[in-house]
Amino acid sequence: MAIRYLIAGNWKMHGTPTLAAALAGELANAFTDPDAHDLELLVCPPAPLLAVVRAAIGSGKLLLGAQDCHPREEGAHTGDVSAQMLFEAGCSHVIVGHSERRTDHGEDDALVRAKAVAAQAAGLVPIICIGETLAEREDGRAVEVVLGQLSASLPPACSAYNAVIAYEPVWAIGTGRTPTGRDIADMHSAIRGALPGLATGAEGMRILYGGSVKPDNAGEILAIANVDGALVGGASLDAGSFLKIAASRP
């Protein structure tokens, strides 16, 4: 079956209502029906900008996602948002377990899994992030670490439709450094190989690559076997760059 590429923009803590509306409007206008055949284009703005981005998308096919959710349905959790709230705000996806949340907020695999389960229960597709640090790679433990995170972070029921994996080597995020094509291929193949043993229906899940994806390297990265899309940080804040990355799919 042909791959339906998912190109996701993680805006992180960037944007104002005016900038967000302009960026989303430009993307929504440029992303037309023929593109939608083999491509899902997703933007994940900060939570307070979800409504303005939703309005800018209008009836367009650009998808809306969030950057995090709480594992509980509701309750006394100051500062958090539930998956159901995100669904009702018009989201289809939510990133969980991004390395910046694992580092900044001490999130561990068990919490990431609980968030992914909550997302699925609310009808959202969790984008579950995993990735090794530079020290772990230099120790020769990258595959072991990533497969460990994978097995502990995946919800019990995963399919090509209800969850996505994003492999993001921590040392490649925002640094302009990327692994070699061979290293990406080896890691994605290791992840693909592990999936059938980890969750019911997981073998067809899409595996995104993230970490310094730019217009000039996207073509090479997206052509690698078992790379089913990209999770893009910095380059997703510019409509032209983000669309060029999407257009680089094989």
Among 70, 93, 98, 137, binds ligand 13P (CB under 6 A): 98
Among 64, 234, 241, 242, binds ligand 13P (CB under 6 A): 234
Among 210, 222, 229, 246, binds ligand 13P (CB under 6 A): 210
Does 206 participate in binding ligand 13P (rule CB under 6 A)?
A: no
Cβ 86 vs Cβ 69: under 8 Å: yes
88 is catalytic: no
Give Cβ neighbours of residue 39 (< 8 Å, ≥ 6 apart): 4, 5, 6, 7, 31, 246, 249
Among 206, 211, 228, 243, binds ligand 13P (CB under 6 A): 211
Stretch that binds ligand 13P, among 18-26, 70-78, 181-189, 207-215 (CB under 6 A): 207-215
Catalytic option among 70, 100, 168, 188: 168
Does 173 participate in binding ligand 13P (rule CB under 6 A)?
A: yes
Cα–Cα distances (Å) from 41 to 5, 57, 65, in that order, read 8, 12, 10
Complex with ligand 13P: residue 201 or 215, whichever CB lies closer: 215
Does 174 participate in binding ligand 13P (rule CB under 6 A)?
A: yes
98 is catalytic: yes
Complex with ligand 13P: residue 11 or 87, whichever CB lies closer: 11
Complex with ligand 13P: residue 156 or 240, whichever CB lies closer: 240
Looking only at the bridges linking them, the beta strands covering 206-210 and 164-167 are parallel
Complex with ligand 13P: residue 156 or 174, whichever CB lies closer: 174
Residue numbers at the binding site for ligand 13P (CB under 6 A): 10, 98, 168, 173-174, 210-213, 231-235
By annotation, the residues acting in catalysis are: 98, 168
